[in-house]
Amino acid sequence: MEAALVSALSHITLIVRDLDRMEALLTAVLGATKVYDSGAGSHSLSRERFFVVGGVWLAIMEGEPLPARSYNHVAFEIDDSEYEDYRGRITALGLELREDRARVPGEGRSLYFYDDDNHLFELHTGTLEERLKRYRRDITPS
């Protein structure tokens, strides 16, 4: 019997101390649309809100933040022509920008930033196909 394959990404859930503060980040920086708010009640483990960001369902739930920062992150694709606009949105909210990693030409640019709960987000200008094409050039013999 052939194993079933996952069909798509369902959603991403982030645990945050302050739902309002995270909603401000999601709407102001990522252009998220809120589609659900549990209010004072809860159908899950705690109060929660659902958003759609670039076609992805993103849930935030009230709780204790991550204890430390890491490079684990969620990345969203942006157009290169909007790179500086997004940088402005991030800095307008006083969010900490993380130094971009070293890159080879042709793999796109990234803005990395932390929220107040130690989640790392990336806004990336490239695609998987572009990155693979660029990396293959480095391993293809001349």
Phi-psi label, residue 10: left if phi above 0, alpha if psi -120 to 50, beta otherwise: alpha
Beginning with the edge strand found earlier in the chain, give each strand of the sheet holding 73-77 in spatial order. 73-77, 120-124, 110-114, 96-98
Q: What is the CA radius of gyration of the chain?
A: 17
Is 48 labeled as catalytic in the residue annotation? yes
- Residues 21, 65: Cα–Cα separation, whole Å: 13
Contact (Cβ atoms closer than 8 angstroms) between residue 44 and residue 61? yes
Q: Which of 2, 48, 64, 84 is catalytic?
A: 48
C-alpha angle 108-75-37 in degrees, rounded to nearest 5: 150
Q: Residues 61, 63, 89, 11: what is their CA dihedral angle, to the nearest 10 degrees? A: -30
Residues assigned a catalytic role = 48
